[in-house]
């Protein structure tokens, strides 16, 4: 990081997206991907599921941004090093609610768009239910 001096800093108006108009709309799952990240110094695995584009909006720079609904759930590693999910985990319950046995079977499934609860910064995102 590089320290910088900003002479005139002030509150500015940021563009806002009205996510509520998408609640209840249908969307189709388009992608299922796995990610590795770090949490409290340990590697963690997660599954990210996203829908097709719901709307294209412009960001504050005037660039087009694709709005999609998504869900991210954790994956586990067992004592033998196999990666997966338990039936009582968030991932297992999600797959059961979608009536599939494997995440790859989610592609092409229809879902209902919902809005997440606000995160610690007060931001909300599009998610979905079966």
CA separation for the pair 94, 65 (Å, rounded): 27
**Per-residue pLDDT in tens (0 to 9) along the chain, 130 residues:** 788 888 888 887 766 777 888 999 999 999 999 999 888 888 889 999 999 999 998 877 788 889 999 999 999 999 999 999 999 999 999 999 999 999 999 999 999 999 998 888 878 889 998 7
Residue 102 in any domain: the answer is yes
Residue 87 near residue 41 (C-beta atoms within 8 A): no
Residue 91 in any domain: the answer is yes
Radius of gyration of the chain (CA): 18
Domain count, the chain: 1
DSSP 8-state class, residue 93: H
Residue 42 in any domain: the answer is yes
The beta strand positions in 15-119, using DSSP E, are 26-39, 42-51, 55-58, 64-67, 70-77, 83-84, 110-115
Collapsing DSSP to helix, strand or coil, 101 comes out as coil
Residue 1 in any domain: the answer is no
CA separation for the pair 102, 49 (Å, rounded): 12
pLDDT of res. 15 = 64
Collapsing DSSP to helix, strand or coil, 106 comes out as helix
pLDDT of res. 92 = 94
Which secondary-structure segment (H or E) carries 91? helix 90-97
Residue 9 in any domain: the answer is no
Residue range 49-74, pLDDT digits in tens: 999 999 998 877 788 889 999 999 99
- How many residues belong to the chain? 130
pLDDT of res. 53 = 96
Residue 53 in any domain: the answer is yes
CA separation for the pair 80, 123 (Å, rounded): 39
Residue 35 near residue 25 (C-beta atoms within 8 A): no
- Does the pTM of the predicted model rise above 0.95? no
Residue 4 in any domain: the answer is no
Residue 13 in any domain: the answer is no
What is the domain range of residue 34? Answer: 19-129
């Amino acid at each position: 990081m590089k320290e910088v001096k900003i002479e005139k800093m002030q509150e500015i108006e940021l563009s806002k997206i009205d996510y509520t108009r998408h609640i209840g709309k249908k969307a189709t799952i388009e992608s299922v991907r796995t990610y590795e990240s770090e949490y409290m110094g340990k590697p963690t695995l997660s599954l990210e599921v996203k829908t097709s584009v719901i709307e294209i909006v412009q960001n504050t720079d005037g660039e087009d941004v694709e709005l999609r609904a998504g869900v991210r759930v954790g994956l586990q590693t067992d004592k033998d090093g196999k990666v997966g999910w338990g039936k009582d985990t968030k991932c297992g319950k999600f797959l059961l609610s979608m009536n599939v046995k494997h995440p790859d079977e989610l592609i092409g499934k229809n879902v209902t768009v919902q809005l997440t609860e606000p995160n610690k910064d007060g931001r909300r995102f599009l998610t979905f239910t079966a």
